[in-house]
Structure 1
Amino acid sequence: METVLLYLLGILIVVVGLVLSIGLHEIGHLVPAKAFGVKVGQYMIGFGPTIFSRKKGETEYGVKAIPLGGYISMSGMFPPQKTAEVAEDAVGGRVSAGRTATTGMFQTLVQDARTASAETVDEGEEQRTFYRLAVPKRVVIMLGGPVMNLLIAIVLFGVVLCGFGVQQATTTVGSVSECVLPAGSTSTTCPAGATQSPGAAAGLQPRDEIVSIDGTRVSSWDQSTAIIQKSAGEKLDVVVLRGHQRLTLEVTPLLTKRYVTDAAGNIVTDSSGTRATEEVGFVGIGSAYARVQQPVSAVLPAVGSNVASVATLIWHLPERLVGVAQAAFGGGTRDANGPVSVVGVGRMAGEVATLNSVPVLDRAGYLVGLLASLNVALFVFNLIPLMPLDGGHVAGAVIEGVRRFVARLLGRPDPGPVDTAKVIPLTFVVVTVLGAMSLLLIYADIVNPVKVG
């Protein structure tokens, strides 16, 4: 029963965090929109049927049933069709100026978008429309949401790194191998006739704090490892603190083969898939880990690294989705660094919350970090220059600004606002693709979820 409650608690934390992130994202749009005088009819968290709403002033604030997004309804998102514009119908014919072409699904979508936008404009308040704003103001409004997610991520990463801290290897010995085992061995016992490890032979013990190796003062575990690995067959004087006693032990690293690992600790393979090995000095000791609070200066680099990782994931999303589909319908292991849905994030949170073998602080730090990464994903994803994403509206405003600048430069008349309603058919395609992608990820996260740890 306790496990079930912890699992539900983990999911609840993510759901509440997601809803708050969406709400703050929309506030990032709402505040500058109102500051610039745009009429905002609705501020909604979620989609679907309205659960609760309350009107304050000219804006209705509410919560809807499906907490997978949100929106604010601004007056005049799309400019009206030019009266002198000549539209083409679906079969290539032409319609006279001032008459609207409604033949064909896509033309209907465009006209419906224009009509819905026009209905939000009250008589006498045409100046309070979004499309009439100066380009910089529109960019500020549309970037307000993603920037809010970025700020949330920075705060949450600050809580994780500077508040909870992160587990780091220390200069204290955490384990000492009794014998030397071949690379890749999973044995937990020493077979008969196995060679005693240099660490055990020298008398090193868990909780010994390494002070120096062969006269070089040691300040990190990586530093001690580097010295040991390049000193195979050489006698090294290792000074340790054991309790309050300072001891000098003589250790001779043994030359042995070990797998080559990258910066993330993953085993490196060559072009044929064979695991790469190298001959290095080996003592047979492992580090003790401790939670270490990071300086504030570590927060922005961590956020930047996460932004780069998400951007790379999105850039390679098509091939990643192929892998997800293969894992969902053909079995196999999901990529731990691949895309997941909200369902997958919830499952991961629930599984982490139930890991009784992991300290509570570590579990709490993981959940906060998960929400931080989720906000980074919202920031990066919304910058994609495709409508209905925020980046699509930004792109439309920038294109309009460039057109007007070029017109002024060439002494031509103001070309007017860019008719972003014309890209509604593309928006329809984008929404369809995003919906299909979401359904695939949700299905995969149900039948073959990403494993935690």
Structure 2
Amino acid sequence: MTALLYTVGVLLFALSLVVSIGLHELGHMIPAKKFGAKVTQYFVGFGPTVWSKQVGETEYGIKAIPLGGFVKIVGMLPPGAEELAEEVGTDAEGNQVLRIRKSNTGMFTQLVSDARAAEWELVQPGDEERLFYRLPWWKKVIVMGSGPAVNIAIAFAIFVPVFATYGNSSDVRTVPVVSDVSACVVPAAENGRECTDADPVAPAKQAGIEVGDEIVSFNGVPVGAWEDVQREIRANDDGAATIVVLREGRELSLTTNTTVTSRPTVGADGLADGQGTVEVGFLGVSPTTELVTGGVGYTVSQMGDMTVNTLEALAHMPAKVWGVAKAIVGLEERDPMGPVSIVGGGRLAGEAVSTHEVPVTDRAVFLLMLIAGFNFFIGMFNFVPLLPLDGGHIAGALYEAVRRGLAKVFRRPDPGHFDTAKLMPVAYVVGLTVMVMGVVLIVGDLVVPVSMNG
């Protein structure tokens, strides 16, 4: 049964990613077609084609390796100054026939030339007004930005109901509701042992405090948070205490003779610093921790924090992946909080679904949050302003807008469309880097996997 549930978890995660990829590519294709660009292919996956169907001018299909997808929009790269299209005549039907003049001096120029030539092989007579590079800059931004925006929207659609009902496992608060009452006072040096007959009764036990009581005030001082309760208890030293609690909707006033005990030294931040012991007030109760809940506004705020954390994670990604590489060969332990590939994500999903010790609701929430987290990261990653990522094309369109805008302000000749083909060497380097990091993470998830059980 466990193996079956594990397989179900992996398959659910894999299916969710395939759907997310498909929706990401629809995010590109729909506005591209809306703006009149020619879209010749829409595929989920890479490698050999498993299934495809031609609908109008677009071929829709699924490929064997579900690690991504693509939409082929004709004319992504403009003809550069060194590779301008020239008319060489007309065909039998009178349509203009274009030819690309090539200039391939130098390695980088050759890369640019080859990329541009491959792009223009798809251009057919009559496509001239439907080429992507000829779209206004803002349409380019919408087309390229809609893909990753869909992933972020998927994450948002999952976060909102989870945060509103179950709560946010990354945002825990401590409230002054009693979750445990100590039976006795154990010396700090022997903390953790069982009570004996020689141990004095804990002040909370003596006062009659029960699990579920909400502490409202301490010695007449209203308390709204657990930190307030903790401060008042510690400051009470060996004095008596009158504690007002809310129990089953009624306020009760409870009294204890003393709250003093020997506890670890308290530092300036209110936490034990472990340097010794000091006589401070001690009641003998533990607070309740609960997940913070919230709706749309709360989710937006949390996703803002996630954005900052994700940007920091992306900045440290190469170092983190290097750590995984060292863990693979046994040079260090793998960071359990470090990055994982979709293989690692699948393993975590399988473990979450098949762990019987965890309530079903918690397992379902973990799986949903895993799916949402992957979508959010994929969306943010694709906004990185480097080719071949979507953010690279967005950056190129924005640069084009600024450059043409400045030319208009200063009455200079229109510089024309920004030539993203000149950034192809960068695209190759970035693409190779991403591929290598992906392979390292996949190998790491197979050799030294991260487990939700530690």
* Category of TM-score, reference length = shorter chain: 0.7 to 0.9
1:124 — aligned with what? 126
Taking the TM superposition and a 5 Å limit, the aligned residue runs for 1:220-369 are 220-240=225-245, 247-251=252-256, 252=259, 254=261, 256-257=263-264, 281-288=281-288, 293-330=293-330, 332-369=332-369
Per-residue CA deviation, residues 82-135 of structure 1 (Å, 9 max, x unaligned), is: 2588xxxxxxxxxxxx85234665444322211221122220121101000111
2:162 — aligned with what? 160
Q: Using the TM superposition, give the Cα deviation of residue 38 of structure 1 relative to its aligned residue in structure 2, in angstroms.
A: 0.3
Q: Which amino acid aligns with 1:354?
A: S
Q: Which amino acid aligns with 2:19?
A: L
Q: Which amino acid aligns with 2:136?
A: A
Segment of structure 1 superposing worse, 435-444 or 105-114: 105-114
**Alpha-carbon distance change, 49 to 443 in structure 1, aligned in 2, over 3 angstroms:** same
Instruction: Determine the C-alpha separation between the residues in 2 that align with 1:445 and 1:195.
Output: 52
Instruction: Determine the C-alpha separation between the residues in 1 that align with 2:32 and 2:237.
Output: 67
Instruction: Determine the C-alpha separation between the residues in 1 that align with 2:318 and 2:276.
Output: 33
Task: Give secondary structure in 1 for the equivalent of 2:61.
Answer: strand
Task: Give secondary structure in 1 for the equivalent of 2:81.
Answer: coil
**Alpha-carbon distance change, 182 to 59 in structure 1, aligned in 2, over 3 angstroms:** farther
**Alpha-carbon distance change, 229 to 394 in structure 1, aligned in 2, over 3 angstroms:** farther
Q: Which amino acid aligns with 2:328?
A: A
Q: Using the TM superposition, give the Cα deviation of residue 142 of structure 1 relative to its aligned residue in structure 2, in angstroms.
A: 0.8
**Alpha-carbon distance change, 278 to 445 in structure 1, aligned in 2, over 3 angstroms:** farther
Q: Using the TM superposition, give the Cα deviation of residue 428 of structure 1 relative to its aligned residue in structure 2, in angstroms.
A: 1.0
Q: Using the TM superposition, give the Cα deviation of residue 441 of structure 1 relative to its aligned residue in structure 2, in angstroms.
A: 1.4
Tell whether the 8 Å contact from 1:233 to 1:255 is kept in structure 2 after alignment. no
Q: Using the TM superposition, give the Cα deviation of residue 290 of structure 1 relative to its aligned residue in structure 2, in angstroms.
A: 5.8
Instruction: Determine the C-alpha separation between the residues in 2 that align with 1:84 and 1:42.
Output: 25
Segment of structure 1 superposing worse, 62-71 or 230-239: 230-239
Q: Which amino acid aligns with 1:256?
A: R
Q: Using the TM superposition, give the Cα deviation of residue 191 of structure 1 relative to its aligned residue in structure 2, in angstroms.
A: 7.7
Tell whether the 8 Å contact from 2:404 to 2:414 is kept in structure 1 after alignment. yes
Q: Using the TM superposition, give the Cα deviation of residue 289 of structure 1 relative to its aligned residue in structure 2, in angstroms.
A: 5.2
Q: Using the TM superposition, give the Cα deviation of residue 39 of structure 1 relative to its aligned residue in structure 2, in angstroms.
A: 0.6
Instruction: Determine the C-alpha separation between the residues in 2 that align with 1:390 and 1:248.
Output: 63
**Alpha-carbon distance change, 134 to 230 in structure 1, aligned in 2, over 3 angstroms:** farther
Instruction: Determine the C-alpha separation between the residues in 2 that align with 1:259 and 1:10.
Output: 46
Would you say 1:404 and 2:411 are equivalent positions?
no
Would you say 1:6 and 2:5 are equivalent positions?
yes
Task: Give secondary structure in 1 for the equivalent of 2:70.
Answer: strand
Tell whether the 8 Å contact from 2:238 to 2:260 is kept in structure 1 after alignment. yes
Segment of structure 1 superposing worse, 159-168 or 72-81: 159-168
**Alpha-carbon distance change, 319 to 206 in structure 1, aligned in 2, over 3 angstroms:** same
**Alpha-carbon distance change, 33 to 281 in structure 1, aligned in 2, over 3 angstroms:** farther
Task: Give secondary structure in 2 for the equivalent of 1:111.
Answer: helix
Segment of structure 1 superposing worse, 225-234 or 252-261: 252-261
**Alpha-carbon distance change, 183 to 298 in structure 1, aligned in 2, over 3 angstroms:** farther
**Alpha-carbon distance change, 239 to 163 in structure 1, aligned in 2, over 3 angstroms:** same
With the length of structure 2 as denominator, give the TM-score of the two structures: 0.84
Per-residue CA deviation, residues 308-360 of structure 1 (Å, 9 max, x unaligned), is: 11111112223323333333333544334322211121122222222322221
Would you say 1:71 and 2:78 are equivalent positions?
no
Instruction: Determine the C-alpha separation between the residues in 1 that align with 2:338 and 2:3.
Output: 27
Instruction: Determine the C-alpha separation between the residues in 1 that align with 2:329 and 2:308.
Output: 30
Q: 5+ residue gaps in structure 2?
A: 85-99
Aligned residues: 432
Q: Using the TM superposition, give the Cα deviation of residue 388 of structure 1 relative to its aligned residue in structure 2, in angstroms.
A: 0.6
Segment of structure 1 superposing worse, 357-366 or 398-407: 398-407
Alignment counterpart, residue 140 of structure 1, candidates 134, 142, 155: 142
Instruction: Determine the C-alpha separation between the residues in 1 that align with 2:56 and 2:39.
Output: 10
Instruction: Determine the C-alpha separation between the residues in 2 that align with 1:13 and 1:277.
Output: 52
Tell whether the 8 Å contact from 1:198 to 1:254 is kept in structure 2 after alignment. no
2:115 — aligned with what? 113
Q: Which amino acid aligns with 1:411?
A: R
**Alpha-carbon distance change, 118 to 203 in structure 1, aligned in 2, over 3 angstroms:** same
Tell whether the 8 Å contact from 2:83 to 2:103 is kept in structure 1 after alignment. no
Tell whether the 8 Å contact from 2:82 to 2:102 is kept in structure 1 after alignment. no
Task: Give secondary structure in 1 for the equivalent of 2:329.
Answer: helix
Q: Which amino acid aligns with 2:444?
A: A
**Alpha-carbon distance change, 195 to 69 in structure 1, aligned in 2, over 3 angstroms:** farther
Would you say 1:47 and 2:66 are equivalent positions?
no
Task: Give secondary structure in 2 for the equivalent of 1:131.
Answer: helix
Instruction: Determine the C-alpha separation between the residues in 1 that align with 2:324 and 2:177.
Output: 41
Bigger radius of gyration: 2
Per-residue CA deviation, residues 204-230 of structure 1 (Å, 9 max, x unaligned), is: 343444344333455554543444344
State the percentage of identical aligned residues. 42
1:100 — aligned with what? 102
Task: Give secondary structure in 1 for the equivalent of 2:133.
Answer: coil
**Alpha-carbon distance change, 281 to 19 in structure 1, aligned in 2, over 3 angstroms:** farther
Q: Using the TM superposition, give the Cα deviation of residue 412 of structure 1 relative to its aligned residue in structure 2, in angstroms.
A: 2.5
Task: Give secondary structure in 2 for the equivalent of 1:330.
Answer: coil
Task: Give secondary structure in 1 for the equivalent of 2:411.
Answer: coil
2:423 — aligned with what? 423
Per-residue CA deviation, residues 374-406 of structure 1 (Å, 9 max, x unaligned), is: 121112111111101011001111222222223
Per-residue CA deviation, residues 10-29 of structure 1 (Å, 9 max, x unaligned), is: 22222122112211111111
**Alpha-carbon distance change, 428 to 352 in structure 1, aligned in 2, over 3 angstroms:** same
Instruction: Determine the C-alpha separation between the residues in 1 that align with 2:202 and 2:322.
Output: 46
Instruction: Determine the C-alpha separation between the residues in 2 that align with 1:281 and 1:125.
Output: 81
Per-residue CA deviation, residues 266-316 of structure 1 (Å, 9 max, x unaligned), is: x99xxxxx9789976543322345677533331111111111111111122
Taking the TM superposition and a 5 Å limit, the aligned residue runs for 1:78-89 are 78-82=77-81
Q: Which amino acid aligns with 2:180?
A: S
Tell whether the 8 Å contact from 1:260 to 1:276 is kept in structure 2 after alignment. no
Segment of structure 1 superposing worse, 251-260 or 22-31: 251-260
1:175 — aligned with what? 180
**Alpha-carbon distance change, 334 to 164 in structure 1, aligned in 2, over 3 angstroms:** same
1:204 — aligned with what? 209
